[in-house]
Structure 1
Amino acid sequence: MSGRLALPSLLLAVIVSSFCPATSMSGDDMRNQLLTREKMMRIGGQLVLTQEEELANQRLKALKEAEMHKALSKGSILPSMHFFQAKNLIEKSEVFNILKKMPKGAALHVHDFSITSPDWLVKNATYRPHCYFCFTRRGIPQFRFAHPTPPTPKPAECPQWVLLEKFRKGLHNVSEFDNSLLRNLTLMTENPHVTYTDQDAIWAKFKTIFFVMGDLVRYAPVFRDYLSQGLEEFYQDNVLYLEIRASLYPKREGPVHLPLGEEFWKEVYELDGTVYSREWLVRTYEEVAHNFAKTHPGFIGIKLIFSDHRTKNESLIKKSIQTAMDLRAKFPGIVAGFDLVWSPIHPTEDPSLFPDWEGTSVDRNLLDAVILNSTRIGHGFALSKHPAVLAEAWKKNIPIEVCPISNQQVLRLVSDLRNHPAAVMMAAGYPMVISSDDPAAFGAKGLSYDFYEAFMGIGGMSADLRTLKQLAINSIRYSALSETEKKSAMDTWAERWQKFVAGLARGPK
């Protein structure tokens, strides 16, 4: 649908040949030629819009320009603000509300324990029977589902398990307590620059969030419902397909029954002590997605990218790769690949000194990704600093997964998204997709917030409906779906896109 050319040099050659020799042009003609060339180079620049799409684009651009001019006059450009402080303002934006309705295709970079809002975990999971909690010495909550009461934890962890149902009955203000639990499941804070003074502070809290979430989600009944709720939140945000980076923690070959000991809580479990294998987890993902599709028209499905931590030693990573290959062989329809996740900072390096600085070990994993023919590059924040690697990645048509809010808040790589390296790459037409990484931890849902930041900030004033359309198309084109599945997914998306465009072109009723 978009006919992307292979290299920017070829694109320039084609465009330049269609113009008169430079010597016969006036200054204005040369200026217009350059602007036209740049317009065609941008992501979506070669798309030809239908008449209805042109009308929709005119309305969208008018709203965007009005919003940006208002923001400039007030000095409050939302993509230049920390997301935690901009979120409420974004939700009032007419552009944002249009983007929520837009069929965005697929989310290709999201993590398993952060696809569902923490609100749901507090209001649903912690209100279930047999849910116990305690606070560690650092004030971090831990959760266990058990019947009868779980074994007394080690003193270094927390004093004793308390049944949440009983505890809440003795409270005068349950909402206040629930909000205190919620604060342990999200990075959201009123003063992010004060709360998180550097990357160390961010990553410490980020790790804690995943440990706390894991306590709740590893209870098998919650695990199933958590996944279904996550799919619901993305579906309501007009995302029809997800590729989930899943840790699949258990190492066992099959379900076993364990005594109620501490190891019992580190895997997906039932109240009776049954713990489940990786194979069970994959089948459960598959079953939940299949059942979800039955009641949600147009939902395309999910695939899993088995993930492990890059901080592990070489021997353990080799084992993980073999596990990924075995799972792929057993479940070819849902297991799509393997990825190393988490902060690339080496344990001996200070992340505050090397925030993705060119020439350090932090960004050199890009070379390995390109050499090994990676299907996609996660974030790719440093790619623009490596021209040879960039050229090779472009030649191999390896897209980057841009996660605007994650880069801005969690990784603290850029404070103003107008200055994100992806802005240059988007202007040059480098293949990319927009995703949300860990939306639950950021107080976001689905993809709309990240699309807003990409459209209003990274894309600059020139980004329009063509940009959005190409990004949505890219999310299907660069997915792990088979060619047959991609064609079907594209047809489903195109039908919804046409309805969206028609509504946008008509304007408000």
Structure 2
Amino acid sequence: MLVDGPSEWPALRFLLLAVAMSFFRSAVSIDEAHLLLKEKMMRLGGPLVLTTKEEQANERLMMLKIAEMKEAMKTLIFPPSMHFFQAKHLIERSQVFNILKMMPKGAALHLHDTGIVTMDWLVRNVTYRPHCHICFTSKGIMQFRFAHPTPRTSEKCSKWILLEDYRKRVQNVTEFDDSLLRNFTLVTQHPEVIYTNQNVVWSKFQTIFFTISGLIRYAPVFRDYVFRSMQEFYEDNVLYMEIRARLLPVYELSGEHHDEEWSVKTYQEVAQKFVETHPEFIGIKIIYSDDRSKDVTVIAESIRTAMGLRTKFPTVVAGFDLVTHADLRSQIKIKIVSWPQPSGGRLDYRHWQGTSIDKNILDALMLNTTRIGHGFALSKHPAARAYSWEKDIPIEVCPISNQVLKLVSDLRNHPVAALMAIGHPMVISSDDPAMFGAKGLSYDFYEAFMGIGGMKADLRTLKQLAMNSIRYSTLLETEKNTFMEIWKKRWDKFIADVATK
């Protein structure tokens, strides 16, 4: 084209503008693709390269996930955006959930000793055992105790009644058992009405521990409880557990009490017995725990106890943790504590952070913690987040617990979503699943996969989370390698099933 006169300048300008716009669109497109690819690689599990079979399984999984997401957009009914008590039955209908139940999830690293066995078992099995008594405190709170003969009445409790006799007096035994179940969990049809704030739900939460303690701490039940906990998690394709245990005194029918050493030894013996019939199960480890609200001198003594247990049971006791509801009175206050140093072996410090008193995260890092429990506020502390990433310190994410205990209502808005998007080290666990009417890890994996991870979370995310649970466990490197081999065989079978069936 020849353009040699003023009359042709508008055409020239139009041509130049068209070329520029075309180039600009191309440049933007290239940059956009580059950014999307970069974000994909940054996500948790993003760098993983899937095999052909895994790609096939991922395509099938994501097809189901997208279908469920699209349906939720139409109906506005999306389980992760709802309270778990109202969403549980919807989750159980999900085909994605059924796949997650099949998935070998590795390890559960954040569990509490008296909240991991389904409460239905406590009601239908344990409370029907001989010599089980019930009484009510002045505040109407139930207590249980196994004894023979019947215990004497005390100031703290009304007259003890043999539960077998009590059931004979009630008109509807099923209704009575259902009422026990309601008292053993936080589950209610209207959680927003019943639990108006954190203090209310935490009060009920702590009351449950008080109520069921007399059942679980009875020596024969204690042994069965530990065995049952491994069985329930094994059935949910979990092969290893790390349990935060208070190791409160365990009692016999005669009234004799056992100390912490007896409890740890029992954990060890029961785990060995379970592994005999379930050889792929790796085992359990105990993280000795105490209440963060106690005086610092008491906490220091608890650490010394943990060290002693670690020395006597090096393959069972893994570390120490401070637990329970965090508030202004219960910060760790490390500046005024002369923390005992381990002798004869490393003692790993864990940290459970549950509320907005997020300074505890900083304290935990200063104590050289090897994992951060919950770490709900970590995203608000960029320096602490960067430090934990640099030191490869993962957070233990318990989605359902965070929601039920009123830290977040819609799991799509969980703070860890931002951390998952940048690949921050983390594991998924279930905290006290029995208290929430859940079981094992599958429900929490569903919430993390569908809600926290959003549409972008795929098989790579799930695989990374499972491998992380092995990597960040307190097992020795040789034990981790063995664990990884067992998990890999199960993973390959899982992938084949999802890809072809």
**Could you tell me whether the CA contact under 8 Å between 1:141 and 1:181 is conserved in 2?**
no
Q: Report the CA distance shift for 1:347/1:183 in structure 2 as closer, same or farther (over 3 A).
A: farther
Give 1:316's aligned residue: 298
Give 1:437's aligned residue: 431
Give 1:212's aligned residue: 211
**Could you tell me whether the CA contact under 8 Å between 2:218 and 2:250 is conserved in 1?**
yes
**Could you tell me whether the CA contact under 8 Å between 1:140 and 1:184 is conserved in 2?**
no
Code of the aligned partner of 2:400: I
**Could you tell me whether the CA contact under 8 Å between 2:135 and 2:160 is conserved in 1?**
yes
Structure-1 separation of matches of 2:498 and 2:354 = 41
Alignment partner of 1:500 is 2:501: no
Give 1:458's aligned residue: 452
Which of the pair has more CA radius of gyration?
A: 2
Give 1:9's aligned residue: none
Structure-2 separation of matches of 1:309 and 1:391 = 29
Give 1:3's aligned residue: none
Structure-1 separation of matches of 2:32 and 2:127 = 62
Alignment partner of 1:137 is 2:138: yes
**Could you tell me whether the CA contact under 8 Å between 1:116 and 1:440 is conserved in 2?**
yes
Give 2:343's aligned residue: none
Code of the aligned partner of 1:425: L
Alignment partner of 1:285 is 2:274: no
Structure-1 separation of matches of 2:26 and 2:234 = 52
Code of the aligned partner of 1:75: L
Structure-1 separation of matches of 2:126 and 2:105 = 29
Any idea what the Cα deviations from partners look like across 1:303-353, whole Å, max 9, x if unmatched?
00000010011101110111111111110001000000111113499xxxx
Alignment partner of 1:200 is 2:213: no
1:148-163 alignment, distance < 5 Å: 148-154=149-155, 157-163=156-162
Structure-1 separation of matches of 2:355 and 2:199 = 14
Q: Number of residue pairs matched?
A: 458
Alignment partner of 1:244 is 2:226: no
How far did residue 494 of structure 1 move?
0.4
How far did residue 23 of structure 1 move?
9.3
Any idea what the Cα deviations from partners look like across 1:10-61, whole Å, max 9, x if unmatched?
xxxxxxxxxxxx9996211111110000000011101110100000000000
Give 1:127's aligned residue: 128
Give 2:466's aligned residue: 472
Structure-2 separation of matches of 1:26 and 1:398 = 39
How far did residue 170 of structure 1 move?
2.9
**Could you tell me whether the CA contact under 8 Å between 1:105 and 1:475 is conserved in 2?**
yes
Give 2:181's aligned residue: 182
Alignment partner of 1:341 is 2:323: yes
Structure-1 separation of matches of 2:120 and 2:361 = 36
Alignment partner of 1:378 is 2:396: no
4+ runs deviating over 3 angstroms: 22-25, 354-357
Code of the aligned partner of 2:67: A
Structure-2 separation of matches of 1:497 and 1:278 = 37
Structure-1 separation of matches of 2:473 and 2:329 = 32
**Could you tell me whether the CA contact under 8 Å between 2:110 and 2:430 is conserved in 1?**
yes
Structure-1 separation of matches of 2:257 and 2:486 = 38
Structure-2 separation of matches of 1:504 and 1:283 = 40
Any idea what the Cα deviations from partners look like across 1:257-282, whole Å, max 9, x if unmatched?
xxxxxxxxxx3111122210110000
RMSD, aligned α-carbons = 1.6
Which secondary structure state, in structure 1, belongs to the residue aligned with residue 290 of structure 2? Answer: strand
State the identity as a percent.
Answer: 63
Deviation larger for 78-87 or 25-34: 25-34
How far did residue 436 of structure 1 move?
0.2
Any idea what the Cα deviations from partners look like across 1:384-407, whole Å, max 9, x if unmatched?
000111111111000000000011
**Could you tell me whether the CA contact under 8 Å between 2:293 and 2:330 is conserved in 1?**
no
**Could you tell me whether the CA contact under 8 Å between 1:434 and 1:450 is conserved in 2?**
yes
Which secondary structure state, in structure 2, belongs to the residue aligned with residue 366 of structure 1? Answer: helix
Q: Report the CA distance shift for 1:443/1:380 in structure 2 as closer, same or farther (over 3 A).
A: same
Give 2:103's aligned residue: 102
| TM-score of the aligned structures, taking structure 2 as reference length | 0.89
How far did residue 420 of structure 1 move?
0.7
Code of the aligned partner of 2:147: A
Give 2:403's aligned residue: 408
Which secondary structure state, in structure 2, belongs to the residue aligned with residue 183 of structure 1? Answer: helix
Structure-2 separation of matches of 1:153 and 1:133 = 13
Q: Report the CA distance shift for 1:235/1:364 in structure 2 as closer, same or farther (over 3 A).
A: same
Structure-1 separation of matches of 2:192 and 2:83 = 9
How far did residue 355 of structure 1 move?
8.7
1:83-94 alignment, distance < 5 Å: 83-94=84-95
Deviation larger for 477-486 or 167-176: 167-176
Which secondary structure state, in structure 1, belongs to the residue aligned with residue 280 of structure 2? Answer: coil
Q: 2:286 aligns with which of 292, 304, 317?
A: 304
Q: Report the CA distance shift for 1:355/1:100 in structure 2 as closer, same or farther (over 3 A).
A: closer
Which secondary structure state, in structure 1, belongs to the residue aligned with residue 284 of structure 2? Answer: strand
Could you tell me which runs of 5 or more consecutive residues in structure 1 were left unpaired when the two chains were aligned. 1-21, 250-266
Structure-1 separation of matches of 2:177 and 2:499 = 43
Give 2:348's aligned residue: none
Give 2:342's aligned residue: none
Deviation larger for 129-138 or 220-229: 129-138
Alignment partner of 1:423 is 2:417: yes
**Could you tell me whether the CA contact under 8 Å between 2:374 and 2:397 is conserved in 1?**
yes
**Could you tell me whether the CA contact under 8 Å between 1:56 and 1:505 is conserved in 2?**
yes
Alignment partner of 1:272 is 2:254: yes
Structure-2 separation of matches of 1:346 and 1:289 = 38
Structure-1 separation of matches of 2:158 and 2:27 = 80
